[in-house]
Amino acid sequence: MASKLKPEFYLRKNVLRITEELIGKFLVTNFDGVKTSGIIVEAEAYNGAIDKASHAYNGKRTKRNEIMYAEGGTAYVYLCYGIHHLFNVVTNGKDTPHAILIRAIVPADGLDAILYRRKQKLNKKISDGPGTLSTALGIKTTHSGLPLTGNKIWIEDRAVKFSKKDIVTSPRIGVDYAGEDAKLPYRYRLREEIIMELLNKK
């Protein structure tokens, strides 16, 4: 049985633990009566002001990243390269800018809508990237700031469980500018064979 994650899930202090626990949860959207979802198979943690890879490193606050300072359980969506809408989960308490970039999902509900949005047939790359998953689920920068306890974007627990050995940790992608912090094992991803098994069930 599906249950929407409660605010307490997001308000915890350990962004790494939350990131790992998001693997296997379902990211759900409902826009204009069209419901789509996917199981989260990859996510990256960004550890706020002390993390050189974070938009909020050293307490930086801008119009773009101000949502990161909201209370945990808020959507942070920003534009990358002027093209890709990247969806993040804000965590921790207000004014502590922790965030988790959702990097990949395997489609679940609303497959026809997902394929229409992506303009292609089902394949491994249908939502295997932060930009493509946002397109698949209809997420845009205009949704930044939405509460994840609402009825437009939320995350569900559907009692899908994976063991720690099923999840691979590695450095984050595309953060070479972060120096030593670029090497931190803050990326969590399901093993490829499990992802393929999920895709082959579609």
Nearest-5° angle of CA 143, CA 144, CA 149? Answer: 80
pLDDT by residue for the chain (202 residues), tens only, comes to 889 999 999 999 999 999 999 999 999 999 999 999 999 999 999 999 999 999 999 999 999 999 999 999 999 999 987 889 999 999 999 999 999 999 999 999 999 999 999 999 999 999 999 999 999 999 999 999 999 999 999 999 999 999 999 999 999 999 999 999 999 999 999 999 999 999 998 7
Structure tokens at 129: 């990237």
pLDDT at residue 165 in the model: 97
Q: Are 34 and 115 in contact (CB under 8 A)?
A: no
Task: Give the whole-angstrom CA distance, residue 137 versus residue 146.
Answer: 15
Structure tokens at 35: 């419901």
The whole-model pTM stands at 0.97
What's the half-sphere exposure (Cβ side, CA atoms, 13 Å) at 177? 7
Residue carrying the six token digits 């992802």: 195
3-class SS at 37?
strand
pLDDT at residue 83 in the model: 87
Distances 30 to 17, 81, 174 between C-alpha atoms, Å: 27, 26, 30
Please name the helix (run of DSSP H) or strand (run of DSSP E) that holds residue 194, with its range, or none: helix 192-200
Go through the domains of the chain in sequence order and give each one's CATH number: 3-200 (3.10.300.10)
Helices (H) and strands (E) in the chain, counts: 5, 9
Phi, psi of 133, rounded to the nearest 5 degrees:
-70, -35
Q: Which of 136, 132, 134, 129 is nearest to 115 (CA)?
A: 136
Task: Give the whole-angstrom CA distance, residue 77 versus residue 69.
Answer: 13
Task: Give the whole-angstrom CA distance, residue 160 versus residue 81.
Answer: 34
pLDDT at residue 148 in the model: 98
pLDDT at residue 202 in the model: 79
Task: Give the whole-angstrom CA distance, residue 41 versus residue 8.
Answer: 22
pLDDT at residue 38 in the model: 98
pLDDT at residue 129 in the model: 96
* CB within 8 Å of 155: residues ≥ 6 apart: 4, 5, 22, 25, 26, 27, 28, 40, 89, 148
